[in-house]
């Protein structure tokens, strides 16, 4: 395999349990694009949400341990870029990393926790989300497309964590476009819609389910009314909440909620890990003639 | 200022007095329609030293989406302050969710469980 890019990889809980097809199709796509990815030998729960209290450094320790692991493996594999698929992992790891880089007092505090374990963090890791990686390799994506995506009208849904707060944003947080460009490169019709950066309701599902179903329904219907037949997400929690809302709808609009990498894998003919139900939905939108590409 | 307000200021590390009540946070908040007290009103209560702020339901409906934090023209960071309000209760051992009462708990993915546990339990 030709190696075009190298990353260490932090999976997190979701892609190993509830969003397996997200990870598997992502790896199929990486393989095809020559993106070399090495999963960390060991990783810790990032915490899923960044602790906002200024006096609670211990909340960041899980993330710090994974950053240290990445730093150690980085020396061995020649890359300090740590890739994530889950944007909540991305957001948490990135913010912890940024906090330690900007605040020497916090770093010192963290070091005191780790001294007895002979661990230290030298701030060399860069946390990266899959969206800009795919964006960077969009020309390669275009070259590897084997299916006609002209019947697919995809609405890119970014949600919160890839974009906010702005200091960790993968793109312009008010008007993101990199997922639009990736999808366009893959040959589908891209449908812009007003709620592309709106919150799905996140963890509030456990406290006020009605609010989450309300928000997520608004996002689904917004995409559908804009003309989409596929709603594309990169987040396992958004996926869960959107499905919760979709399943609660009396009149279900003909729109499918799928992960970005599932759609890319489909268009690249990498069918092995696409859930059958999604494969057959996409088949229904694809003109029967296959093969071709560039 | 009372103890509770002091604690909120200290935990959040933010300056509520910078707020000039423009209402931007409420305008951009995706959850505002489900809140009993709106984000800018919560900030106003803290400015005025109103300790009833810890009894407000709205801070638990906040999804920490950072929409208000990013757009606040005075960099007050309402969403960060709401976390401090939540922590005042959580650090007293008052949890906000009961796992046994959550509908379809078994169907909830790990990420949903972890995030909810982080935000609603101490």
Q: How many domains does chain A have?
A: 2
Is the domain of A62 the same as that of A185?
no
Average of per-residue pLDDT across A37-44 = 97
**Between B33, B70, B109, which is nearest A240 by CB?**
B109
Average of per-residue pLDDT across A10-17 = 95
Q: CA nearest A235 in B: which residue? A: B111
Domain-located, residue A70: yes
Average of per-residue pLDDT across B60-65 = 98
Domain-located, residue A290: no
* Res A114 pLDDT > 50: yes
**Backbone φ, ψ for residue A7 (5° rounding):** -140, 145
Question: What CATH number does the domain containing A107 carry?
Answer: 1.20.1050.140
Judged by CB atoms closer than 8 Å, whether chains meet at A48 and B118 is answered as: yes
pLDDT at site A291: 46
Distance, in Å, from the CA atom of A127 to the CA atom of A43, rounded to the nearest integer, reads 14
Q: Is A32 helix (H, G, I), strand (E, B) or coil?
A: helix
pLDDT at site A1: 65
Average of per-residue pLDDT across A224-242 = 98
* Res A201 pLDDT > 90: yes
- The domain boundary, picked from A103, A130, A157, lies at A130
- The domain boundary, picked from A102, A130, A158, lies at A130
Is the domain of A192 the same as that of A112?
no
Mean pLDDT of chain B: 96
Domain-located, residue A217: yes
Is the domain of A51 the same as that of A169?
no
* Res A293 pLDDT > 50: no
How close A83 gets to chain B, by Cα (Å)? Answer: 18
**Between A51, A55, A215, which is nearest B30 by CB?**
A215
pLDDT at site B1: 66
Is the domain of A245 the same as that of A160?
yes
**Contact A166/B at CB under 8 A:** yes
Judged by CB atoms closer than 8 Å, whether chains meet at B65 and A160 is answered as: yes
- In residues, how long is chain A? 294
DSSP-derived pairing of the beta strands A189-190 and A126-129 = unpaired
Is the domain of A58 the same as that of A167?
no
Which residue range forms the structural domain that includes residue A74?
A: 5-130
Is the domain of A125 the same as that of A155?
no
Is the domain of A184 the same as that of A254?
yes
Contact between residue B39 and residue B68 where contact means Cβ atoms under 8 Å apart: yes
| pLDDT (tens digit per residue) in A57-84 | 999 999 999 999 999 999 999 999 999 9
Q: CA nearest A161 in B: which residue? A: B65
* Res B85 pLDDT > 50: yes
Judged by CB atoms closer than 8 Å, whether chains meet at A49 and B31 is answered as: no
Mean pLDDT of chain A: 95
A29: confidence class by pLDDT, cuts 50, 70, 90: very high
Interface confidence, given as ipTM, is: 0.96
Domain-located, residue A113: yes
Contact between residue A71 and residue A125 where contact means Cβ atoms under 8 Å apart: yes
pLDDT at site B2: 80
pLDDT at site B107: 87
Least confident among A105-119, A159-173, A268-282, B35-49: A105-119
A239 is written with which tokens? 């996926």
**Backbone φ, ψ for residue A141 (5° rounding):** -60, -50
Is the domain of A112 the same as that of A162?
no
The CA radius of gyration of chain B, in Å to the nearest whole number, is 15
C-alpha distances (whole Å) from A9 to each of A26, A39, A73 are 12, 4, 11
Distance, in Å, from the CA atom of B13 to the CA atom of B80, rounded to the nearest integer, reads 9
Distance, in Å, from the CA atom of B101 to the CA atom of B113, rounded to the nearest integer, reads 13
C-alpha distances (whole Å) from A274 to each of A21, A236, A258, A277 are 6, 16, 10, 8
Give the bridge partners for A85, in sequence order.
none
pLDDT at site A134: 98
C-alpha distances (whole Å) from A190 to each of A110, A238, A291, B95 are 44, 20, 22, 43
Question: What CATH number does the domain containing A163 carry?
Answer: 3.40.50.11810
Is the domain of A223 the same as that of A101?
no
A185 is written with which tokens? 């490169």
Is the domain of A123 the same as that of A154?
no
Give the bridge partners for A154, in sequence order.
A190, A230
Domains and CATH numbers, chain B: 3-91 (1.10.1060.10), 97-122 (no CATH)
Judged by CB atoms closer than 8 Å, whether chains meet at A54 and B96 is answered as: no
Q: How many helices (H) and strands (E) does chain B have?
A: 7, 0
Is the domain of A265 the same as that of A211?
yes
B104: confidence class by pLDDT, cuts 50, 70, 90: confident
Candidates B6, B39, B111, partner chain A, best to mutate (most A CBs within 10 A): B111
Average of per-residue pLDDT across B19-33 = 98
pLDDT at site A288: 66
Q: CA nearest B88 in A: which residue? A: A53
B102: confidence class by pLDDT, cuts 50, 70, 90: confident
Domain-located, residue A170: yes
B72 is written with which tokens? 């606040």
Reported as type and span, the H/E element at residue B122 is: none
- Chains A, B: CB contacts within 8 A come to 123
Domain-located, residue A39: yes
pLDDT at site A237: 96
pLDDT at site A294: 38
Nearest to A161 by CA among A90, A242, A239, A96: A90
A228 is written with which tokens? 């989409």
Q: Environment class of residue A122 by beta-carbon count within 10 Å: exposed (0-12), middle (13-18) or buried (19+)?
A: exposed
Distance, in Å, from the CA atom of B69 to the CA atom of A207, rounded to the nearest integer, reads 22
Domain-located, residue A135: no
**Torsion angle in degrees (nearest 10) through CA of A9, A231, A240, B89:** 90
- The domain boundary, picked from A97, A130, A163, lies at A130
Is the domain of A95 the same as that of A166?
no
Domain-located, residue A168: yes
Distance, in Å, from the CA atom of A33 to the CA atom of A3, rounded to the nearest integer, reads 8
Distance, in Å, from the CA atom of A289 to the CA atom of A94, rounded to the nearest integer, reads 43
Average of per-residue pLDDT across A107-111 = 94
pLDDT at site A179: 98
| Residue A73 neighbours by CB under 8 Å, 6+ apart | A8, A38, A40, A41
Least confident among A109-123, A175-189, A253-267, A280-294: A280-294
| Model pTM score | 0.96
Nearest to A54 by CA among B57, B87, B66: B87
DSSP secondary structure letters along A43-73? -----SS----TT-GGGGHHHHHHHHHHHHH
A59 is written with which tokens? 């909340």
């Amino acid at each position: 395999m030709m190696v075009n890019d190298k990353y260490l990889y932090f999976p997190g809980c979701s892609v190993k349990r509830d969003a397996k097809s997200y990870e598997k199709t992502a790896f199929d796509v990486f393989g095809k694009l020559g993106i070399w990815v090495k999963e960390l030998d060991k990783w810790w729960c990032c915490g899923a949400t960044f602790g906002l209290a200024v006096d609670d450094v211990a909340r960041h320790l899980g993330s710090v341990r994974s950053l240290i692991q990445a730093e150690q493996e980085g020396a061995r594999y020649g890359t300090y870029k740590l890739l994530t698929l889950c944007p909540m992992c991305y957001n948490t790891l990135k913010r912890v990393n940024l906090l330690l880089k900007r605040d020497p007092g916090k770093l010192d505090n963290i070091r005191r926790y780790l001294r007895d374990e002979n661990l230290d963090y030298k701030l060399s890791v860069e946390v990266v989300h899959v969206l800009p990686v795919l964006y960077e390799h969009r020309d390669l994506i275009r070259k590897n497309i084997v299916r006609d995506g002209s019947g697919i009208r995809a609405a890119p849904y970014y949600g919160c964590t890839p974009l906010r707060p702005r200091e960790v944003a993968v793109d312009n947080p008010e008007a993101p476009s990199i997922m639009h460009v990736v999808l366009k490169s893959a040959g589908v019709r891209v449908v812009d819609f007003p709620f592309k950066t709106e919150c799905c309701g996140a963890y509030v599902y456990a406290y006020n389910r009605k609010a989450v179903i309300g928000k997520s329904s608004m996002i689904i219907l917004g995409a559908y009314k804009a003309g989409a037949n596929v709603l594309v997400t990169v987040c396992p929690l958004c996926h869960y909440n959107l499905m919760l809302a979709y399943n609660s709808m009396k009149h279900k609009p003909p729109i499918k909620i799928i992960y970005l990498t599932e759609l890319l894998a489909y268009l690249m003919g990498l069918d092995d890990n696409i859930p059958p139900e999604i494969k057959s939905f996409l088949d229904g939108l694809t003109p029967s003639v296959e093969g071709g590409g560039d | 200022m009372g103890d509770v307000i002091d604690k909120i200021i200290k935990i959040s590390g933010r300056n509520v007095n910078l707020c000039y009540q423009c209402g931007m946070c409420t305008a951009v908040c995706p959850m505002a329609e489900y809140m009993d007290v709106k984000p800018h009103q919560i900030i106003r209560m803290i400015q005025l030293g109103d300790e009833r702020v810890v009894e407000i339901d709205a801070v638990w409906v906040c999804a920490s989406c950072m929409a208000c934090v990013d757009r606040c023209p005075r960099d007050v960071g309402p969403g960060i302050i709401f976390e401090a309000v939540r922590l005042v209760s959580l650090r007293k051992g008052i949890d906000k969710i009961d796992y046994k009462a959550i509908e379809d708990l078994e169907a909830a993915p790990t990420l949903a469980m972890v995030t909810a546990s982080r935000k609603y339990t101490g």
